[in-house]
Amino acid sequence: MNCPCCGGHMQTRAKLSLLADVQLPTVPRTIVNGLAAAYPRSVSAEALIENIYRGVRDGGPVHARAALSVQVHILRQKLGAYGWTIPKGATGRGNKAEYRLCPVSDLDQPKPKHKLIKAG
């Protein structure tokens, strides 16, 4: 079976339903729920921020993207115990950050070695 995110080989993966058991405060729970609902697709930082601060009269903090980044960092540490993570690295187009859930087992797979082919 191949990963829908990267196309790499997948071993047995953690069940997405395990994430419901993670004890989290409201903001991290909102992030996890948003990513789980979109799995295996990515979710833009803007969409996550909108979900987090929906209903807040002023729309949230001025530095909402930085606050999101801190929450994602903390979640990476917590979700690993449940077999999931939010991969590091650039995703999204241009300057638009995107986040996604990924089973830790997918990240343990060796990356394929690509041979450089020189033009004749």
**CA–CA separation, 76 and 85 (whole Å):** 5
Residue 91's domain comprises 16-107
| 37 within domain boundaries | yes
| 89 within domain boundaries | yes
Is the pLDDT assigned to residue 118 strictly greater than 80? Answer: no
| 82 within domain boundaries | yes
| 7 within domain boundaries | no
CA distances (Å), origin 1, targets 7, 12, 36, 38, 86: 9, 10, 20, 20, 21
Is the pLDDT assigned to residue 96 strictly greater than 80? Answer: no
Name the 3-class secondary structure at 15. coil
Query: Are 62 and 116 a contacting pair, CB within 8 Å?
Result: no
Q: How many domains is the chain partitioned into structurally?
A: 1
CATH number for the domain including 62? Answer: 1.10.10.10
Q: What confidence score (pLDDT) does residue 116 get?
A: 47
Is the pLDDT assigned to residue 115 strictly greater than 50? Answer: no
Report CA torsion sign: 19, 88, 51, 75.
positive
| 4 within domain boundaries | no
Model confidence pTM above 0.85:
no
Is the pLDDT assigned to residue 57 strictly greater than 60? Answer: yes
